[in-house]
């Protein structure tokens, strides 16, 4: 096990009545040092209004006499142009606590506003190459609270956030992270995800699974406990994602997916281990290019990345674990390589049959000639990918994109 | 999944160089509001001196110019008489941060001192029936930091603590808990457990496993993720405890056991689930009576409790999970009951063969006629055990003790 420190102080309030604690939490975090709480409510499009959650949250704040200011219109894969205006809006209204109500994009932009509020320069200058280790933010950050409406990114319990710079061509996806960026309180009511579409449920589940893969495929074989916990989380996704797609108001399925998303990306299975992020590095180019839903891109690239990895016979061990411990396959009479291929087939079946996600980049409306540009962009990140499960080369990147096309 | 909240803000600093952060952490937590840090160092017997840890910790404090005051002599299963003196000692020296260096007993007594420091009455009055739900402490608590030397109780990341009242007959074991009782920072260097004896390694591992069992055997079948994570932790104990017994300086084994102990009892697998604590309730009587090592008592009672439970055919499901998912047994061609019995045999083999722990209460030096008194004591706790996996009755308690004798 590698040396590490872990500190995950996000309070999760979970269940049907979780918002009973919302007003007190806003008063606590906004009212530090005797200030009057001034809440920045960050929202996306209209979905939280349709389900009545906007009414509920604003009524709670009004009933508690809280001053609040809404900044809405966060898009999927949030854009830095919108984030910049949000920072201005927050400053104009002198807010002291940020409440994100939505999915990963809304929360990430809320985090960006919380960081940018006290930062003199442009937020994009703080946004470093995604997942680079040196990107920690140490400027003051407004406290962020979240009401989650999508089981996917895990940002509701994580230190990171990212957005796309839509003012440059090609657009670039970058982010930042830091211990104070992690939300202070996250409210999780599985019922708030009942209205998530079958496709978004599937894509979110692919995202959760991919986060787990990224630390599960690790060279640190001595982080045994972390690997077994990762398998526990993967089993949870694989069991409940298809149920939630079929029965959108199945509380048990939505609850397990929601809680699993939070623990899949909060550092727990990563610390003491080695993060990989290879597949994320490849996928982020698709999302940056045409707003491909992140989870769908991951479901396309992951199996092709795996097929590239298993050509290295020293990297088969995790595929053996995955097949046996997660998919429950029998290895009897099979070589490691044969079994690894069977495991990858199970991953494909899950992503493409059970989750019904697309299988090829061409189906995302991306032209073939863009692959070379994506490859160039990923090559710029090779530095921070150096320690991953099987370090990528330019040839490998080309090949994986080609196989995925 | 049941409604819940979870908040686990203990920072774990893990690895060979973890103490590099000790001085700064003491200054941060002792130096709040501009105070001069004054550290209460709580220790047990001589083991930390023998391994050089006492020298290391005190040198770090001296080099950092920290004022510190040592209160030593904490015994296994800490005694309230010693705890009371510790509270007096802490007050006399006006400490503002508590540093426990040792195993679960040292940390629990340190927590008691941290709570008692600002409490006007007697600490025993705050100590409620063990594990009772209404026992939360809401008085001010001094910050507690720990340097862990034993993988066992998990108190280094948990909200609870307990001790024995040695001034009454029969002695009673009680405790308290509360969010502020949870340590702020815990330093875990697996090397500090190299000198733990084969027996204490085994007993500590039995303790970890029992904590996990107590929430794994749950009526909340919808807390799927928690059950799978519990299995991940159990696999970790079962794999590494025998290795650590054979090879006391195996870093990988000690690291996995140490980190697993912390996560086995910090609330993660409990929240959203239902706690059981039946076996703990039965075992605490043995420890109260003659200082039986807690883990050894658990290893005796657990299999007999299981044999009593499986007479109820509605309670077989977790034994089926346990046998398949943790012990890797094949259920093919076996009824649930047959398979549950096979699973219990695997539990016995682990406790009694792999861990080499005692199999019967009579071997602990406890006379048979004490069982009736133990039964009476446990009956007083039946109220808080009401919601557990299979609620105990007086007859059941008698029978389990008898079978364990």
Residue-wise DSSP of B228-279: HHHHHHHHHHHHHHHHHHH-TT-HHHHHHHHHHHHHTSSSTTTTTS----HH
Q: Say yes or no for a CB contact (<8 Å) between A271 and B13.
A: no
- The edge-to-edge listing of strands for the beta sheet with B160-165 is B128-129, B172-177, B160-165
Q: What residues of chain B lie within 8 A of the CB of A6, using their CB?
A: 11-12, 14
Q: Say yes or no for a CB contact (<8 Å) between B225 and A260.
A: yes
Residue-wise DSSP of B273-309: S----HHHHHHHHHHHHH---HHHHHHHHHHHHHHHH
pLDDT value, residue B385:
78
Q: What residues of chain B lie within 8 A of the CB of A237, using their CB?
A: none
- Structure confidence by residue, pLDDT tens digits, B370-387: 999 999 999 988 877 777
Residue B21 in tokens: 């952060």
Residue B132 pLDDT > 50, yes or no? no
- Quote the CA–CA distance of B96 and A405 in Å, as a whole number: 62
Which CATH architecture describes the domain A11-192?
Answer: 3-Layer(aba) Sandwich (3.40)
- Which chain A residue shows the shortest CA-CA distance from B252? A222
Largest CA distance in chain A: 69
- Quote the CA–CA distance of A180 and A265 in Å, as a whole number: 16
Q: What is the DSSP letter of A270?
A: T
- The edge-to-edge listing of strands for the beta sheet with A185-188 is A67-71, A38-42, A97-102, A144-148, A185-188, A4-14, B4-14, B185-188, B144-148, B97-102, B38-42, B67-71
Is A188 within 8 Å of A18 (Cβ atoms)?
yes
pTM of the model: 0.96
pLDDT value, residue B276:
84
pLDDT value, residue A133:
43
pLDDT value, residue B137:
73
pLDDT value, residue B139:
79
- Which chain B residue shows the shortest CA-CA distance from A221? B252
Mean pLDDT, rounded, of chain B:
94
The CA-based dihedral angle spanning residues A235, A238, A244, A247, taken in that order and rounded to the nearest 10 degrees: -100
- Structure confidence by residue, pLDDT tens digits, B143-168: 999 999 999 999 999 999 999 999 99
Where chain A has pLDDT below 50, the residues are 132-134
Residue B319 in tokens: 């034994």
pLDDT value, residue A134:
43
Q: Say yes or no for a CB contact (<8 Å) between B260 and A225.
A: yes
Per DSSP, the three-state class of B189 is coil
- Give the nearest partner residue to B16 out of A3, A229, A263, using CB atoms: A3
- Structure confidence by residue, pLDDT tens digits, B179-238: 999 999 999 999 999 999 999 999 999 999 999 999 999 999 999 999 999 999 999 999
Q: Say yes or no for a CB contact (<8 Å) between A272 and B260.
A: no
pLDDT value, residue B138:
73
B17 band by pLDDT with thresholds 50, 70 and 90? very high
Q: Say yes or no for a CB contact (<8 Å) between B1 and A14.
A: yes
- Quote the CA–CA distance of B355 and B285 in Å, as a whole number: 22
Q: Which chain A residues have any C-beta within 8 angstroms of a chain B C-beta? A: 1-18, 21, 190, 222, 224-225, 228-229, 231-233, 235-236, 239-240, 251-252, 255-256, 259-260, 263, 271-272
Is B156 within 8 Å of B183 (Cβ atoms)?
yes
Chosen for mutation from A4, A19, A179, A224 (greatest number of chain B CBs closer than 10 Å) is: A224
- Quote the CA–CA distance of B208 and A382 in Å, as a whole number: 41
pLDDT value, residue B127:
85
Classify residue A201 as exposed, middle or buried by CB count within 10 Å of its CB (0-12, 13-18, 19+): buried
Place of tokens 């993967």: A234
- Quote the CA–CA distance of B138 and A21 in Å, as a whole number: 18
- Quote the CA–CA distance of A69 and A90 in Å, as a whole number: 8
- Give the nearest partner residue to B5 out of A3, A13, A228, using CB atoms: A13
- Give the nearest partner residue to B14 out of A4, A8, A21, using CB atoms: A4
Residue ranges covered by each domain of chain B: 11-192, 196-404
Q: What residues of chain B lie within 8 A of the CB of A259, using their CB?
A: 1, 225, 272
Classify residue A382 as exposed, middle or buried by CB count within 10 Å of its CB (0-12, 13-18, 19+): middle
Q: Say yes or no for a CB contact (<8 Å) between A232 and B235.
A: no
Q: Say yes or no for a CB contact (<8 Å) between B252 and A12.
A: no
- Quote the CA–CA distance of A1 and A218 in Å, as a whole number: 11
Residue B66 in tokens: 């920290």
pLDDT value, residue A387:
74
Q: Say yes or no for a CB contact (<8 Å) between A11 and B7.
A: yes
- Structure confidence by residue, pLDDT tens digits, A108-144: 999 999 999 999 899 998 887 655 444 567 778 999 9
Q: Say yes or no for a CB contact (<8 Å) between B228 and A240.
A: no
Residue B134 pLDDT > 80, yes or no? no
Name A145's bridge partners: A99, A185
Is A336 within 8 Å of A330 (Cβ atoms)?
no
Q: What residues of chain A lie within 8 A of the CB of B233, using their CB?
A: 225, 228-229
- Quote the CA–CA distance of A96 and A40 in Å, as a whole number: 8
Is A176 within 8 Å of A191 (Cβ atoms)?
no
State whether CATH 1.20.1090.10 applies to domain B196-404: yes
- Quote the CA–CA distance of A136 and B130 in Å, as a whole number: 43
In this chain, the answer to whether the domains covering B11-192 and B196-404 adopt an identical fold is: no
Residue B256 pLDDT > 80, yes or no? yes
Place of tokens 């405790």: B175
- Give the nearest partner residue to B252 out of A3, A222, A260, using CB atoms: A222
Closest-CA distance, A401 to chain B, in angstroms, reads 34
Chosen for mutation from B16, B224, B233 (greatest number of chain A CBs closer than 10 Å) is: B224
pLDDT value, residue A129:
65
pLDDT value, residue B381:
82
pLDDT value, residue B160:
93
Q: Say yes or no for a CB contact (<8 Å) between B14 and A21.
A: no
Mean pLDDT value of segment B394-399:
96
Q: What is the DSSP letter of B203?
A: H
Residue B135 pLDDT > 70, yes or no? no
Q: Say yes or no for a CB contact (<8 Å) between B228 and A235.
A: yes
Q: Say yes or no for a CB contact (<8 Å) between A1 and B255.
A: yes
Q: What residues of chain A lie within 8 A of the CB of B8, using their CB?
A: 8-9
Q: At what angle do helices A294-309 and A336-348 cross, to 10 degrees?
A: 170
- Quote the CA–CA distance of A260 and A151 in Å, as a whole number: 8
Closest-CA distance, B216 to chain A, in angstroms, reads 14
- Give the nearest partner residue to A232 out of B1, B14, B229, using CB atoms: B229
For chain A, helix (H) and strand (E) counts, in that order, are 15, 9
Mean pLDDT value of segment B69-78:
96
Name A148's bridge partners: A102
- Quote the CA–CA distance of A148 and B13 in Å, as a whole number: 30
For chain B, helix (H) and strand (E) counts, in that order, are 15, 9
0.90 surpassed by complex ipTM: yes
Residue B62 pLDDT > 90, yes or no? yes
B170 band by pLDDT with thresholds 50, 70 and 90? confident
Phi, psi at B174, each rounded to 5°: -140, 175
Give the residue, A156 or B276, on which the prediction is more confident.
Answer: A156
Neighbours of B136 (CB within 10 A): 15
Chosen for mutation from A3, A145, A189, A220 (greatest number of chain B CBs closer than 10 Å) is: A3
């Amino acid at each position: 096990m590698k040396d590490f420190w872990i500190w995950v102080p996000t309070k999760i309030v979970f269940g049907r009545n979780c918002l009973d604690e919302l007003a007190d939490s806003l008063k606590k975090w906004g009212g530090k040092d005797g200030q009057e709480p001034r809440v920045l409510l960050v929202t996306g499009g209209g979905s939280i209004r349709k389900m009545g959650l906007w009414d509920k949250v604003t009524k709670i704040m009004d009933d508690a006499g809280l001053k609040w200011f809404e900044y809405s219109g966060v898009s999927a894969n949030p854009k830095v142009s919108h984030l910049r205006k949000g920072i201005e809006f927050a400053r104009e209204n002198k807010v002291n606590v940020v409440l994100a109500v939505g999915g990963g994009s809304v929360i990430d932009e809320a985090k960006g506003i919380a960081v940018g509020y006290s930062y003199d320069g442009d937020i994009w200058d703080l946004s470093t190459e995604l997942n680079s280790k040196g990107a920690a933010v140490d400027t003051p950050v407004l406290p962020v609270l979240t009401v989650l409406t999508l089981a996917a990114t895990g940002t509701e319990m994580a230190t990171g956030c990212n957005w796309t710079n839509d003012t440059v061509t090609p657009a670039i996806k970058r982010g930042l992270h830091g211990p104070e960026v992690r939300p202070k309180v996250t409210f999780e009511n599985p019922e708030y995800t009942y209205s998530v579409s079958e496709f978004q449920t599937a894509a979110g589940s692919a995202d959760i699974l991919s986060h787990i893969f990224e630390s599960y495929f690790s060279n640190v074989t001595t982080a045994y406990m972390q690997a077994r916990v990762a398998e526990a989380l993967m089993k949870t996704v694989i069991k409940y994602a298809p149920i939630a797609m079929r029965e959108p108001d199945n509380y048990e399925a939505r609850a397990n997916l929601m809680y699993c998303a939070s623990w899949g990306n909060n550092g727990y299975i990563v610390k003491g281990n080695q993060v990989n992020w290879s597949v994320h590095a490849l996928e982020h180019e698709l999302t940056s290019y045409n707003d491909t839903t992140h989870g769908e891109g991951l479901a396309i690239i992951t199996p092709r990345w795996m097929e590239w990895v298993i050509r290295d016979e020293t990297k088969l061990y995790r595929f053996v674990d995955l097949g046996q411990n997660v998919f429950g396959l029998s290895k009897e009479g099979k070589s490691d390589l044969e079994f690894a291929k069977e495991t990858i087939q199970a991953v494909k079946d899950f992503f493409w049959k059970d989750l019904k996600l697309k299988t090829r980049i061409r189906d995302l409306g991306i032209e073939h000639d863009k692959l070379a540009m994506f490859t160039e962009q990923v090559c710029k990140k090779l530095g921070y990918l150096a320690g991953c499960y099987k370090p990528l080369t330019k040839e490998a990147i080309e090949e994986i994109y080609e196989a995925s096309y």
